[in-house]
């Protein structure tokens, strides 16, 4: 789960894209008494001096859900959008089981999808930085070993490493990840920078 295979136009081979983390938010539409919830929700962590939210970790799916007094909820760590839904449904069921009334069905808003992939060969980041243009590229190897490439459409950020590995962040859908990875492959192949 969480692994997509993409065969974008121009791909030499099938590129595997693995979703590493989906961050999503929602609102329960009501104020929450986090102290009371921490007492009744088994495994909840609430230390307001260190962090204003209550942290509730699930083993299955392996996620961390942050609940805030305002009723805002953030789920992180899921490997797919479906697992975000499962995690949030589980958290709500646990709250209801603990006699915390939840009046509305929350609408899930995907904030960020982080995915990884491998281009299958080493790449020359210096040549890529020059070829792709300084307006969309940040590359300072003394500060960070990867090249940061910002795409306007889809609005994602790709981190490219000399090993050929890449990370895509900022996507809102798995399709945006696939489009972003497909675009970088197309641009690198077009410039003769991908073996």
Q: What angle do CA 105, 110, 113 make, to 5 degrees?
A: 150
- Give the three-class secondary structure for 39: helix
**In angstroms, what CA-CA distances link 48 with 65, 69, 138?**
16, 11, 37
Name the 3-class secondary structure at 88.
Answer: helix
> With a cut of 50, which residues of the chain have pLDDT below it?
1, 4-12
Residues 121 and 181 in one domain: yes
Count of structural domains, the chain: 2
Final residue of a domain: which of 105, 127, 158? 105
Cis upstream peptide for 195 (omega within 30°): no
Do 144 and 96 reside in the same domain of the chain? Answer: no
Report the C-alpha gap between 156 and 50 in whole angstroms. Answer: 31
Instruction: Verify that 116 and 101 share a domain, yes or no.
Output: no
Task: Kindly state whether residues 56 and 126 are assigned to the same domain.
Answer: no
The whole-angstrom distance between residue 160's C-alpha and the CA centroid of its chain comes to 17
| Confidence at residue 195, expressed as pLDDT on a 0 to 100 scale | 76
> In angstroms, rounded to a whole number, what is the distance separating the alpha carbons of residues 102 and 93?
9
My answer on whether 117 and 186 are in the same domain is yes
Residues 6+ apart with CB under 8 A from 116: 17, 18, 20, 165, 166, 167, 168
Question: Are residues 39 and 101 both part of a single domain?
Answer: yes
Boundaries of domain holding 12:
3-20+112-190
Q: Residues 35-65: pLDDT tens digits? A: 999 999 988 999 999 999 999 999 999 999 9
Supply the CATH number for residue 93's domain. 3.30.310.10
Is residue 195 situated within a structural domain?
no
pTM of the model: 0.89
* pLDDT tens per residue across span 81-93: 999 999 999 999 9
The closest of 124, 121, 132 to 184, measured between CA atoms, is 132
> How far, in Å, CA of 139 to CA of 125, rounded?
8
């Amino acid at each position: 789960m969480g692994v997509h295979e993409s065969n974008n136009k121009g791909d030499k081979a099938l590129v595997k894209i693995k979703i590493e983390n989906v961050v999503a938010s929602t609102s329960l539409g009501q104020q929450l008494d986090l102290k009371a919830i921490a007492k009744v929700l088994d495994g909840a962590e609430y230390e307001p001096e260190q962090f204003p939210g209550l942290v509730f970790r699930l083993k299955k799916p392996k996620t961390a859900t942050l609940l805030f007094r305002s009723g805002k909820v953030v789920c992180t760590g899921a490997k797919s959008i479906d697992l975000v839904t499962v995690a949030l449904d589980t958290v709500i069921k646990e709250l209801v089981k603990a006699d915390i009334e939840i009046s509305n069905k929350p609408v899930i808003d995907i904030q960020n999808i982080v995915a990884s992939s491998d281009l299958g060969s080493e790449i020359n980041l210096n040549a890529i930085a020059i070829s792709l243009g300084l307006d969309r590229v940040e590359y300072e190897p003394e500060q960070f070993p990867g090249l940061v490439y910002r795409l306007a459409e889809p609005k994602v950020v790709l981190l490219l490493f000399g090993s050929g590995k890449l990370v895509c962040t900022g996507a809102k859908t798995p399709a945006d990840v696939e489009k972003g990875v497909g675009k970088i492959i197309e641009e690198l192949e077009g410039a003769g920078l991908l073996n």
